[in-house]
Amino acid sequence: MKNGIRGVLAAAGMVAALGAQAETLKLGVVGGMTGPGAPWGLAIDGGVKIAVDEINQAGGLAVGDKKYTVEVLTYDDHYKAADAVTATNRLIDQDEVNYIIGPIGSASVMAMKPITERNKVIMLSNSYSTEVLDANTKYMFRVLPTQYEYNRQLIGWLKQERPELKRLAILSPNDATGWSTQKIQTAAYKDAGYDVAETKFFERSQNDFRTLLTSILAKNVDFIELDTVPPGPAGIVIRQAREMGFKGQFTKFGGNNVAETVKSAGADNAQGTLVYLSADPSSEPYQKLSQSYAKIHSNSMDDFVFYFYDATHLLFKAIQEAGTVDDTDAVRARIEANNSFDGIQGAIVWGGKDVYGVNHQIATPAYLGVIEGGKAKVINKFDAR
């Protein structure tokens, strides 16, 4: 009889163990994994997967009395709103996810947001469009600082340290991202006393910029601001402008992947370009994430990995504090309750209510870099504020 009882208990234990192993938390990732914006989309995927691997290697995510193995489901939106909507509906209706991380493109985010808000799905995303956040936003959090948060600091440095630069042109993508960022850039430069001589838009599929550059160079500008031009095309612009005889300054105070830009421009052409950086390439955290990223993707790591790595750990912390993976209202409340979070490279601060009507905008350290010898070198740091 005792053996029988032991057998029943052993069987029950095996069932319980199997049940514990079956607990899975699914995270959805949406972003442009192919095409010109791929370095940014792959950065989302890489940052999430590095954080998830750390949790899984440690035995899973402890939530209440359960342990969850975290699974990542990644969909390519090709930087297009329609594909982002398809991915979102699939993640919610078929994959039954409660949490989506990404995308980056404004058009995709704005198309996804009504769906995620209606379904109470938390979206940790980015968009440089000022229209993405408003007082009615509940479940979306912007986990990257936008140009509105850091641009005036970068332009302030430029004004003080490079007084010879007075007249510029701004080049931006012809979509919701570019329309918003160019507006912000133009206002910031004009407010700082610069002469914005030309503003141009280009199609994301474009790889010949000579016609646009002919118009820009005819305005005798001292420098060209590359705004949110994707890294590869930004390099092409730099190379073609140099081939056309432009000897002035390039600035890129939108998203960057210096390695991809240099690959397209050539190291000599890119020399001296001033860039916004999300992280210090010489830092220990950068080296750590680079090594982990190389195990996931073969391209050069984009700095945006930092944001989505931190965002994933921030989400895990909120889920643990809420004690649930299903009640997204409880998880949302925990994210909102944590005014600051210790990120991999310093304090992360939530804010934005004065500007957007809701404290769902993140602020992190920002860096100003210069391309030297084909690599980025930090020349200034701006703390989160």
Asked whether the predicted pLDDT for residue 5 surpasses 70, the reply is: no
Asked whether the predicted pLDDT for residue 77 surpasses 70, the reply is: yes
β-sheet with 122-125: strand ranges across: 61-63, 66-76, 24-31, 99-101, 122-125, 140-142, 361-363, 346-351, 340-343
Nearest alpha-carbon partner for 31 in 6, 5, 49, 8:
49
* Residues 297, 304: Cα–Cα separation, whole Å: 14
Asked whether the predicted pLDDT for residue 11 surpasses 60, the reply is: no
Residue 252: how many other CB atoms lie within 10 Å: 27
Q: Which of 12-21, 196-205, 308-317, 364-373 bottoms out in mean pLDDT, i.e. has the lowest?
A: 12-21
Q: What pLDDT is attached to residue 176? A: 81
As a residue count, the chain comes to 385
Contacts for 129-132: CB closer than 8 Å, 24+ residues apart: 129/176, 129/177, 129/179, 129/180, 129/181, 130/180, 130/184, 130/355, 130/356, 131/180, 132/106
pLDDT (tens digit per residue) in 276-335: 998 888 899 999 999 999 999 998 888 889 999 999 999 999 999 999 999 999 999 999
Asked whether the predicted pLDDT for residue 356 surpasses 70, the reply is: yes
| Predicted model pTM | 0.82
* Residues 239, 268: Cα–Cα separation, whole Å: 9
Q: What pLDDT is attached to residue 2? A: 42
Asked whether the predicted pLDDT for residue 30 surpasses 50, the reply is: yes
Residue with the larger pLDDT of the pair 288 and 363: 288
Contacts for 50-53: CB closer than 8 Å, 24+ residues apart: 50/289, 50/292, 50/293, 50/296, 50/305, 50/309, 51/308, 51/309, 51/312, 51/313, 51/316, 52/27, 52/312, 53/292
Please say whether the beta carbons of 39 and 308 come within 8 A.
Answer: no
Angle (CA) 36-38-43 rounded to 5° is 145
- pLDDT band at 165; cut points 50, 70, 90: very high
Sorted by sequence, the CB contacts under 8 Å of residue 191 that are 6+ apart come out as 152
Q: What pLDDT is attached to residue 1? A: 43
- Dihedral sign (CA 20, 22, 28, 29): positive
- Strand, coil or helix: what is 364? coil
Please say whether the beta carbons of 215 and 200 come within 8 A.
Answer: yes
Greatest CA separation for the chain: 96
Q: Which of 58-62, 173-177, 212-216, 354-358 bottoms out in mean pLDDT, i.e. has the lowest?
A: 173-177
For tokens 């993508």, what's the residue?
173
Q: What pLDDT is attached to residue 16? A: 45
Q: How would you label 5-40 residue by residue, b for 16+ Cβ within 10 Å and e otherwise?
A: eeeeeeeeeeeeeeeeeeeebbbbbbbbbebbbbbb
What mean pLDDT value characterizes the chain?
90
Sorted by sequence, the CB contacts under 8 Å of residue 146 that are 6+ apart come out as 126, 127, 128, 130, 184, 361
- pLDDT band at 180; cut points 50, 70, 90: confident
- pLDDT band at 365; cut points 50, 70, 90: confident
Q: What pLDDT is attached to residue 385? A: 62
Tokens (6 digits) for 85: 């909507």
Same fold: 24-144+284-364 with 147-277: yes
Write down the domain spans for the chain.
Answer: 24-144+284-364, 147-277
Beta bridge partners of 168: 196, 223
Residue with the larger pLDDT of the pair 91 and 282: 91
DSSP string computed for 225-270: E-TT--HHHHHHHHHHHHHTT--SEEEE-S---HHHHHHHH-HHHH
Cis peptide before 163 (omega within 30 of 0): no
Asked whether the predicted pLDDT for residue 9 surpasses 50, the reply is: no
Tokens (6 digits) for 356: 């957007």
Q: What pLDDT is attached to residue 74? A: 98
* Residues 110, 117: Cα–Cα separation, whole Å: 11
DSSP state of 301: P
pLDDT (tens digit per residue) in 208-226: 999 999 999 999 999 999 9
Residue 357: how many other CB atoms lie within 10 Å: 13
Q: What pLDDT is attached to residue 156? A: 93
Question: What kind of fold does domain 147-277 have according to CATH?
Answer: Rossmann fold (3.40.50)
Which class would CATH give 24-144+284-364?
alpha beta
